[in-house]
Chain A
C-alpha cells in the first residue's frame, strides 16, 4: 500500500499541491484525474523523485520512505510511462529497453539474454517486432508501446501511466488495457492518469480527483459516474449532451471537389455559412492530410478548392489566409506555436505576415502589437501574466487558446480546426467549444476534425466520416449516434471485432 500524506509543493508563487492525502491499495488500478494544472503531474513527479515535496510524507507498506531522486524511486520499484516519447530513435528497440541497465557478462553486452527478455516483454505489450528494429522506424503508437515495455521490463511494484493513450490508436489502446489488467492480476499497482474519463471507468478500481492542487476525493469507480467526476474536476459541469440548434445554412463558403493527395482520394464536400461540419475517422484515415491540403500547406495531386466561390487551388497559404481561411493545426507544439517568441508575437504572427493595419503594417508598432495581444487575451480569456509571457509558462489549454486566437483576431470566414481540444483541460475545452459555436453563429463556416466523438456530436451540424482516405458517409448530428459513425469509420467487415 502506498500512502501519500499531507504532501505540499510550491513553485515560486504557485502552490501546485496543498496537503494532498490519499491511499493507493496494493494491486489496484488507481485512476488520477483533474484538469491541467490540478497537480497530477507534480504529484507523480514527487512519487518518482523528480521533485521533492516541501512537506508531507510518503508511506510504503506503512513505513515512511524518502524519495530523493529517480534512482531511489526505481529502487523502490516505481516506474513511469511518460506521455512524451523519451526514446532514442537511432537505437534499436532492445537497446532502448535496456538503456542504462544493459545486461553484461565479463563486461561485454549479453545480447542473448537481453534479446530473450526483450522478446518476452514485447510479446506482453503486443508488439510483433524483432527487437533489433530501430525505434525511429516505429509509429508514435508503437513507440509508446515500447515505452510501456520498458517500464514492465523491470517488474515494478508501482507503474504510473501519464496520459498513455493520447498517442495510441484504437488497437493499441485495447492492448494497453489488456496489459493493465494483466499487471493487475500479477499484483502490480497501477496509477493511471488520464483526461479521458471513459478510460478510467474501463480500467480503474479506484479514482482520485485533484483540483487546484487539492485532494477532492477518492472513490471506488462504482460509486461515481462521469458527470459527477467532471463536476468535481472543474467545480461545474461540462455538458456534451447539448446538441446544436437547427441552423439556417447560408451560402457556400468552402467547396472541395475531387481532392486527392497524400493519404486521401477523391474528397468532395461543402461548408456553408453558419455551419459547423465535423470530420471523423480513425487516426491515419487521412483527416489531417486533407485539411492541411485544403489550407495549402500540403501538396495535392488533383482536385479543386473554392473559397467563397473563388478557386484557390494552387494558391499560396498566404493568399488563402488573405481570402479568409484559417487553420488550427493538429499539434500546437509542432506547427502552431513558436516558443522562442513571446505571447504577443505568437498572437500577432499571421497579422504581421499579412501586414495588418492594426499592427502598423510594414513596421510592426510595439504599442499596437501589445494592444492587439491584449484584445486577444480578453476575447479568449487567456490566463497569462502579461503580453510578454513566455509560451512555455502557459498551460496546454492557454497555449491552445493562443493558437485559436491568432487566427480569430483576423476575422476569418472559413475556420478549420484539427483536434482543437487535444490534451487540454475540461474548462478550456468548454470555452473553445463556445468559441466555435459563437463563431459559426456569426455566419462563418467551421470545419472541425476530432477524434473525440462526443465532442463532434455536440458541436457539429453534420459529420463526414473518413476511412482510408475517402469520405465513407455523412451523418446529421441530430440523428447520429456513436455506433453509426464508428461503423463507417472502421468499415463493415470487422464490425463484430469492434463491438465486443
Chain B
C-alpha cells in the first residue's frame, strides 16, 4: 500500500513537473529564510521589496525562458536570447535617449529586434536547414555585434529620464517584470498544453518525421516558435531597459546558458519533445532566489556560479533517477 502510494506520488511528480519544481522553490525560500535568520540577516531577505527585486532580476531571463522552453520542446535550441536582450536595450536606449522618441515608441522599436532576430533564426533553420545550434549561434553573434557597433563602448542611461513614480496602467513600474513573467508563463503554458499548435510543437520535438507524416506543417510551426522566442527575448530586453534603466551592449552576457539551464531544471529535455513553460519560469526563479540569497551573505557572492552549476546538475540527476526507477518498475 505505502509502496504503491510512493510510486503514485513519484509518477505524479514526474508528470506534473511544475509542481515538484515549485516545491523545490518553496523549500529554497524556506531554507534561505532559516539560514539567514541564523545569521541575523532575515530582514533583508523576507520582505516585499526584496521579493520584487528577485522578480525584477529573474524576469530578465525568465521571460526569455518562456520562449526558450518552447524552442527546446520543439527539438531546437536558442543561443541568441542574451544577445537579443542586449541589442533590444541598446536600440530602446538609443532611440529614447539619443533621438528623444517617446518611451512607448522606443520600446516598440526594441521589440522589433526580437521579430527580426527570431525571423532570421527561423529562416536559417527552416529554409537554409542549418542545425538550430549553429543558426542561433550566428544570430547571437550578429545581434551582440550590432549592439557593440551602435554603442561603441558607451551605454545609455534611461533611468534619469523616467520619473521615479512612473506608472503603467496604474501599476508601479517595479511590479511589471514579475507580472509580465508570471502572466506570460501561464498564457504560454496553457498555449503549449491545451492548443493544437502547442501539441504540434511537442510532436515535432518528439519525432519530426512522424509529425510530418501526421500532417503537421513542420516548417510553419518551427517559424512560429523561433519568432515567439525572439519576441519574448526582446520583451525581456525592453523590460530590462525600462525598469532598470540600462541600455548596454555587454548586458545579459551568458544569459542564454542560464535560460537553457532554467528550462532543463523545469523539466525540458534537450533532445526535444518534453518540457514545460511554467517549469522553465519556476526554474528561473530558483536561480533568482539562489543569487539573491547568496548575495545577502557576506563573502558568498563569489560562490554564486559554482553553486548554480552544482544545483543544475543535482536537480537533473535527481530527475533522471526518478525516471529510471519508473521505467524499471514496468
Contact = CB atoms under 8 A, between A and B. Distances in A.
Interface of A: 11-12, 295, 297, 316-318, 321, 327, 329, 334-341, 345, 349-350, 352-355, 361-366, 390, 392-393, 406
B199 interface: yes
Given A353-B196, A354-B215, A11 B273 contact: no
A327 B213 contact: yes
A403 B96 CA distance: 56
Nearest to B196: A352
Given A335-B209, A338-B207, A341-B202, A406 B272 contact: no
A392 B206 CA distance: 13
Given A11-B330, A317-B215, A338-B273, A364 B196 contact: yes
| Chain B interface category by residue count | 20 to 34
Given A12-B330, A338-B202, 8 more contacts: A334-B210, A339-B206, A341-B206, A352-B200, A353-B216, A364-B199, A390-B330, A392-B327
Interface of B: 194-196, 199-200, 202-203, 205-207, 209-217, 269, 272-274, 327, 329-330
A390 B87 CA distance: 43
B76 to A, nearest CB: 15
Contacts of B194: 363-366
A426 B82 CA distance: 56
A251 B273 CA distance: 42
Contacts of B210: 334-338
B274 to A, nearest CB: 5
A336 B213 contact: yes
B213 A355 contact: no
A334 B194 CA distance: 26
Interface centre among B210, B216, B274 (most CB of A within 10 A): B210
Contacts, number: 85
14 contacts: A11-B330, A317-B213, A327-B213, A335-B207, A338-B273, A339-B207, A340-B205, A349-B199, A350-B214, A352-B196, A364-B195, A364-B196, A364-B199, A406-B214
B206 A352 contact: no
A335 B213 contact: yes
Nearest to B202: A341
Contacts of B196: 352-353, 355, 361-364
A297 B217 CA distance: 11
Contact of B215 (A339, A350, A393): A350
Contacts of A364: 194-196, 199
Contacts of B207: 334-335, 337-340
B193 to A, nearest CB: 9
A297 B199 contact: no
A380 B41 CA distance: 64
Contact of B213 (A316, A329, A352, A366): A329
A470 to B, nearest CB: 25
Contacts of B327: 392
Given A337-B207, A341-B202, A355-B196, A297 B212 contact: yes
